[in-house]
Structure 1
Amino acid sequence: MSFVDTLRELSSAEDFFLALDVDYDPKILNVARLHILRRMHHYLEQDQSDLSDDAAQKQLYQRYLAKAYADFVQSSPIKERVFQVHQNAVKPVKLPMVKLSALAMPPE
């Protein structure tokens, strides 16, 4: 079984940290587990390395998991804005403009 196949069998963030030999604080992982894994995925997407060797793949995944974890040790999920819902939260909302005359009270 290849290294990537082994990773596909993992079912929790803790499993990834154990499989990749990356130390973690359970308190941080409990708060940011999905954010950390998503950030790791982003790092892997940006990397153009063509690694066919399992040892090299493990080293790459290990480096990016540790880097993603460090991002959330120093920051928070809301500040890092990994998911679309957090990114949209800071976008200004356009409110429709209404003429003041439309707000006037009708005559009695």
Structure 2
Amino acid sequence: MSSDFANSRPIEVTDFLARLKGLSAAEEFFAVLGVSYDPKVLNVSRLHIMRRMGQYLAEVDFSDLSDRVIAARVRIMLERAYEDFATSSPLTHRVFKVLRDHDPDKPATPGRTFVPFDSVLTLFGQE
């Protein structure tokens, strides 16, 4: 993994949840949490990583925890979410509904047929 910051950097934990809410780019989350990453992995899977991290966060009750404990747990969840996609493709995990709905290993839902766009173009003589 690589990034522009040192992996051993301490996390600033003052008003930690408020700081997280103010972040928008995936790179900001990695920087604030001190998690190293490969830019190639992040460029391909950034939305999937952040969605998975959100899924992990939704499973935890942060009430009555100190900012230091929250920061440590959030960091672990980001590392875990990143590793999910650093070792396999977004299609493997299917964190978004559109990918789950169009899983080729599952039979189509009756009344909801998927027609690939390239097959439509073939009907009109365009490819």
| TM value normalised by structure 1 | 0.81
Asked if 1 retains the 8 angstrom alpha-carbon contact of 2:41 and 2:85, the reply is yes
Runs of 4+ in 1 over 4 A off after TM superposition: none
- Evaluate the alpha carbon distance shift between residue 32 and residue 5 of structure 1 in structure 2; reply closer, same or farther with a 3 A threshold: same
Give the match for residue 27 of structure 1: 40
- Quote how far apart the aligned CAs of 1:45 are: 1.3
Structure 2 length-normalised TM: 0.69
Q: Pairwise mapping of residues 1-108 of structure 1 onto structure 2 (< 5 A)? A: 2-48=15-61, 50-90=63-103, 91-93=106-108, 94=110
Where does the alignment leave 5 or more consecutive residues of structure 2 unmatched?
1-13, 112-127
Q: Is residue 51–residue 57 contact of structure 1 (8 Å, CA) maintained in 2? A: no
The structure where helix makes up a greater share of residues is 1
* Distance verdict in 2 for CA 1:49–1:14, change over 3 Å: same
Q: Which has the larger radius of gyration?
A: 1
Root-mean-square deviation (Å): 1.8
Structure with more contact order per residue of length (Cα contacts < 8 Å, sep ≥ 6)? 1
Instruction: Give 1:48 shift.
Output: 3.8
Report the CA distance between 1:49 and its aligned residue.
Answer: 5.1
What is the rounded CA distance, in whole Å, between the counterparts of 1:51 and 1:65 in structure 2?
A: 21
Q: Give structure 1 stretches of 5+ with no counterpart.
A: 96-108
From the superposition, tell whether residues 88 and 13 of structure 1 become closer, same or farther in structure 2 (CA, over 3 Å): same
